[in-house]
Structure 1
Amino acid sequence: MYIEQGYKSTPGLWKFFVLPIGFIGFMLLNYIATLMSNMDVEASMAMLIDKLGKNITLIFLLAPLVVGLFVVLGWVLLVHGQSITALTTSRKKIDWKRVFFAFGVWGTLTVILTMTDIFMSPEDYVFTFQLNKFIPMAVIAILLVPLQTSFEEYLFRAHMMQGLGLLAKNRWVPLFTTSIIFGLMHIANPEVGKLGMGIMVYYIGTGFFLGILTLMDEGLELALGFHAANNLISALLLTAEWTAFQTDSIYTDVSEPILGWDVLVPVLVIFPILLALFGKIYNWKNWKEKLFGRILTKEEFFAKENATTS
């Protein structure tokens, strides 16, 4: 009953859409401005790094989204009157073990897959680790990246998903809508300019994976852990001159970026395996109902919740 946690806010569905619409509008205007100016995103990023340095640039990129997290949480607390726990999970309290488990699983798998590729294609990578540069970057990344990823999760798969679910009275509309918008949010990333629109399959596919995690587990914890591991481990372990995060990481990818069938491997192979793994561990059932079923009415929800707590 995760989406139904939205009933624990003060009346007014409009409150669920002010921040998402504002953020989407800002991203759309930014994208249009980029197109109209014929801006070379990769070149602009290189100029910014040359002027400010990689660490300050990283802070510059992350800071607005970190602020955004506190805006979302503050809006929910002060305007909705909804607790952060109700925004996060259908459980009585946030399950931090789930957050760290998902972080550990995907973080470990990311390291294994990356190091395997480095071993198989050593000519594509350069070992660029320098302790005096790595430590400051790692501190910045460890402090800010989980907040950045949490902003995206709380905005899309918590705040917006609950609002859309209560509005549509079903689960598939918020799943599809938030997943697609989450993917499109990355359309201005330098990776898209370098690899082409085909990379959007990965971004939108990741959105669906995280949405399914949230709905099946009746909470945001697994998505929070996965997303934090995905961005943080990538920032620490591997960078390239054409990615959104350019850091003083351990390795640098120097290969010519090519969009191939490998973009489908996470979406069609790895993510389904992870869903099966999490489903087995957490005993997920009623997949069809949880992903496509109807939303309980407010009266049904509170009657069911009172029955389980009495």
Structure 2
Amino acid sequence: MYLEQFNRDSSSILKYLPFVVCFLGFMALNIIVSSLMNLDSSTMIQDSIDQWGKNFTFFTFVVPFVFFLALLFLWWKFIHRYSITKLTTAREKIDWSRFFFSFGVWAGINLIVLSVGYFIDPDSFQFQFNLKAFLPLLFIALIFIPIQTSFEEYFFRGYFMQFTAYLSKNRGVALVATSVIFGLMHLSNPEVSSMGLTVMIFYIGCGLLLGIMTLMDDGLELALGFHAANNLLGALLITSDSAVFQTDALFITTADSNIYELLIQVFIIFPILLYIFSKKYNWANWKQKLFKSV
């Protein structure tokens, strides 16, 4: 199984500490400083857009993840002495068909939801295609968003989940802990200001969905595909004034932020997605894979 293919002796577990502490500490410090200084992320994003434009502002959000992902891979390769394939999956090689299936399914569901929303309230959607602005956005998004989403998956559903599973000796504890911390890492997002702390249900729900995918499927491929599709659509297809990715996407929505739409995703659409994957890949032994001791 995915979490059980690595050494779990004390020296091996201690190797996780520097990267985990440094990255989570860095993220926590940013959130704490922003809170203490009463910095508003929406205002900061808008100030950056006014000064540098949308594409450069978007670039500054995603480019640091090139460094984070490279550092994680190098740490894994030279400190833990395992291959990137082992960090990705329990299979002998990475199953890219799983990645593209997950990407396609989630992109398709989002397109259906968007179409329904447009049919119900077309006035809240504004088509804003600008070829001169969209082409650089497309270039940045296609290169850097998969890197950004891959780092989050390799860290939270891979590296950090291994660490918390070894410490707690339980898969369920690791699943919940990594999902909650993943959600909390989004506290400084503009969506929190516009919708309140209840939006954490969505972010933590995403973490649980991605964690369940990883544990049930013995690999990160499905989670990598879902996350890449989700963020690419958010950058290229539709944006809003309260989104963390404020880009020259094809559409901008002027509808008020609605927490109920996100809750429908968490409690209705996410379970449907898991059902699709479970049938496609013949998932079984849910209790054992999600809650068994490690």
Same fold (TM over 0.5): yes
Alignment of 1:73-88 (within 5 A): 73-88=73-88
Shift of 1:82: 1.0
User: Structure 1 9/145 Cα, relative in aligned 2: closer, same or farther at 3 Å?
Assistant: farther
Structure 1: how far apart are the matches of 2:129 and 2:246? 13
CA contact (8 A) 1:8 1:86 kept: no
Instruction: Write the distance in 2 (CA, Å) between the matches of 1:28 and 1:167.
Output: 21
Number of corresponding residues: 294
Instruction: Give structure 2 stretches of 5+ with no counterpart.
Output: none
- Equivalent residue number for residue 306 of structure 1: none
Superposition pairs of residues 203-242 of structure 1, within 5 angstroms: 203-242=203-242
Q: Aligned AA for 2:130?
A: Q
Q: After superposition, where does 1:126-141 map in structure 2 within 5 Å?
A: 126-141=126-141
One-letter identity of the residue aligned with 2:45? M
CA distance in structure 2 between the aligned counterparts of 1:14 and 1:187, rounded to whole angstroms: 28
Q: Which residue is 2:106 aligned to?
A: 106
Distance in 1, Cα, partners of 2:199 & 2:18: 29
Q: Determine helix, strand or coil for the equivalent of 1:126.
A: strand
More displaced 10-residue stretch of structure 1: 123-132 or 195-204: 123-132
Q: Is the 8 A contact 1:62 1:145 kept in 2?
A: yes
**TM superposition score normalised by structure 1:** 0.92
Q: What is the rounded CA distance, in whole Å, between the counterparts of 2:114 and 2:10 in structure 1?
A: 46
1:172 matched to which residue of 2?
A: 172
Q: Residues of 2 paired with 1:263 and 1:230: CA distance?
A: 13
Deviation at 1:9, TM superposition (A): 9.9
Match of 2:277 in 1: 278
Contact 2:146–2:228 (CA<8 Å) still a contact in 1?
yes
CA distance in 2, matches of 1:6, 1:67: 25
Correspondence list, 1:281-300, <5 A: 281-295=280-294
Task: Normalising by structure 2, report the TM-score.
Answer: 0.96
Give the gaps of 5 or more residues in structure 1: 296-310
Distance (whole Å) between structure 2 residues aligned to residue 17 and residue 274 of structure 1: 34
1:173 to partner: Cα distance: 1.4
Q: Deviations over 1:254-306 (max 9, x none)?
A: 123243x22211111111111111011101110000000122xxxxxxxxxxx
CA distance in 1, matches of 2:194, 2:240: 11
Larger deviation, residues 45-54 vs 162-171: 162-171
Instruction: Report deviation, 1:11.
Output: 4.1
Specify the SS of the correspondent of 1:252: strand
Q: Match of 2:5, SS? A: helix
CA RMSD of aligned residues (A): 1.5
Q: Is the contact made by 1:6 and 1:163 (CA closer than 8 Å) also made in structure 2?
A: no
1:12 alignment partner in structure 2? 12
2:157 is matched with which residue?
157
**How far did residue 22 of structure 1 move?**
1.4
Asked if 1:266 is matched to 2:265, the reply is yes
| Aligned partners of 1:65 and 1:148 also within 8 Å | yes
Indicate if the aligned counterparts of 1:106 and 1:229 stay in contact, CA closer than 8 A. yes
- CA drift at 1:17: 2.8
- The 1-side partners of 2:231 and 2:9 are apart by 31
The answer to whether the 8 Å contact 2:183/2:203 transfers is yes
Change (3 A) 1:218 1:257: same
